């Protein structure tokens, strides 16, 4: 089987933070697999940047403003501000459990790298292992779920991007996303009241790329996007041979500096985010028609 979509997952993908009037706040994350999910911890990312040498900062392509923000007291100040809120708001608005609130109440304002227990109350983004909905010689269906365990700190417009590349049996063919059958449902949390909104899936390249842009806050600015479920269907175009395998890259981009997240799909394949959009996490894998299963690359 081909592996032309294999990539080295970047562990140090950064975005520039802007402190806004938003009640929430997020930074990026390091990636790790846990129970077939891909998990990104903002605590590990922040502390790793604070420990980097100048050469490592340059190699990671971090800007001066990004490094200054991550090494400032902005994170600590935000946690101290949350500490002053009542339990009811921390639970219903920010997603904390009562055990996590106890950790927050015990925080004294010291540097977070000196308090590893704070990893439990900083944000974590999870992209679950994709689920195969259908797998035939002419159609593939797959479900992908992303979720935040706590409200991120900066909430602008995020994007979920997808790239695919098919393999056919006897000759070439093409697979196109069926936008009519596909969906992206984003669930917003407003004080533990959940409202689902359907977000548009835009075809970027007819046979290889699509994206779905969504706001991390609702129009009121109170509710935040806690989780999203994508159900994606891809159909072979007329004249295509029998499909044997479909390779994928799914990527989550977290934008803070622009109204619309910056994402592109290079001619050579794959997904690339612009300087104002953080590559917050991605999954790469493939589905075979013969097995009807997803395999991670």
DSSP string, 139-200: EEEEEEEEEESS--SS-SEEEEEEEEEEEESSS---EEE-TTT-EEEEEEEETTEEEEEE--
> For the packed helices 64-71 and 42-51, what is the interaxial angle rounded to 10 degrees?
110
pTM of the model: 0.77
Classified as helix, coil or strand, 47 is helix
DSSP 270-287: S-EE-TTEEEEEEEEEEE
51-55, 98-102, 253-257, 261-265: least confident range: 253-257
Per-residue burial over 170-191, b = 16 or more CB atoms within 10 Å of its CB, e = otherwise: eeebbbbbeeeebbbebebbee
* Over residues 87-108, mean pLDDT: 92
Average pLDDT of the chain? Answer: 82
Say how far apart CA 91 and CA 100 lie, in whole Å.
9
pLDDT surpasses 80 at 150: yes
Say how far apart CA 208 and CA 9 lie, in whole Å.
20
* pLDDT score at 124: 83
pLDDT band at 26; cut points 50, 70, 90? very low
pLDDT tens per residue across span 233-292: 999 999 999 999 999 999 998 765 445 777 888 888 888 876 656 677 788 999 999 999
pLDDT band at 15; cut points 50, 70, 90? very low
End-to-end CA distance of the chain: 11
Largest CA distance in the chain: 66
Are 241 and 170 spatial neighbours (Cβ–Cβ below 8 Å)?
A: yes
Q: What CA–CA distances, in Å, run from 175 to 85, 137, 264?
A: 51, 11, 19
pLDDT surpasses 60 at 28: no
* pLDDT score at 147: 93
Per-residue burial over 39-66, b = 16 or more CB atoms within 10 Å of its CB, e = otherwise: bbbbbbbbbbbeebeeeebeebebeeeb
Are 295 and 285 spatial neighbours (Cβ–Cβ below 8 Å)?
A: yes
266-275 contacts, C-beta under 8 A, 24 or more apart: 269/4, 269/5, 269/163, 269/165, 269/208, 270/5, 270/7, 270/163, 271/161, 271/162, 271/163, 271/209, 273/13, 275/16, 275/63
Give Cα 98 distance to the centre of its chain. 26
């Amino acid at each position: 089987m081909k592996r032309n979509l294999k990539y080295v997952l970047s562990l140090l993908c950064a975005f520039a933070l802007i402190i806004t009037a938003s009640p929430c706040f997020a930074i990026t994350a390091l990636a790790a697999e846990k129970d077939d999910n891909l998990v990104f911890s903002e605590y590990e990312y922040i502390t790793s940047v604070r420990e980097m040498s100048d050469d490592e900062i340059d190699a990671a392509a971090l800007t001066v403003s990004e490094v200054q923000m991550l090494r400032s007291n902005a994170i600590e100040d935000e946690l101290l501000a949350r500490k002053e809120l009542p339990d009811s708001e921390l639970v219903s608005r920010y997603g904390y459990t009562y055990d996590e609130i106890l950790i927050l109440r015990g925080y004294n304002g010291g540097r977070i790298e000196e308090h590893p227990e704070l990893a439990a109350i900083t944000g974590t983004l999870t992209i679950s292992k994709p689920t195969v909905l259908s797998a035939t010689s002419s159609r593939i269906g797959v479900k992908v779920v992303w979720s935040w365990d706590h409200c991120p700190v900066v909430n602008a417009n995020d994007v979920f991007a997808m790239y695919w590349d098919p393999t056919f049996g006897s000759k070439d063919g093409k697979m196109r996303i069926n936008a009519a059958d596909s969906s992206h449902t984003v669930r917003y949390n407003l004080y533990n009241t959940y409202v689902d909104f359907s977000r548009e899936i835009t075809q970027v390249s007819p046979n290889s790329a699509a994206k779905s842009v969504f706001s991390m806050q609702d129009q009121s600015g109170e509710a935040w996007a806690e989780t999203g479920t994508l159900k994606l269907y891809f159909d072979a175009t007329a004249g295509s041979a029998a499909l044997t395998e479909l390779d994928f890259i799914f990527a989550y981009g977290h934008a803070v500096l622009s109204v619309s997240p910056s994402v592109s799909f290079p001619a050579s394949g794959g997904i690339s985010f612009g300087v104002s959009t953080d590559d917050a996490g991605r999954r790469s894998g493939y589905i075979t028609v013969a097995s009807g299963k997803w395999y991670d690359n």
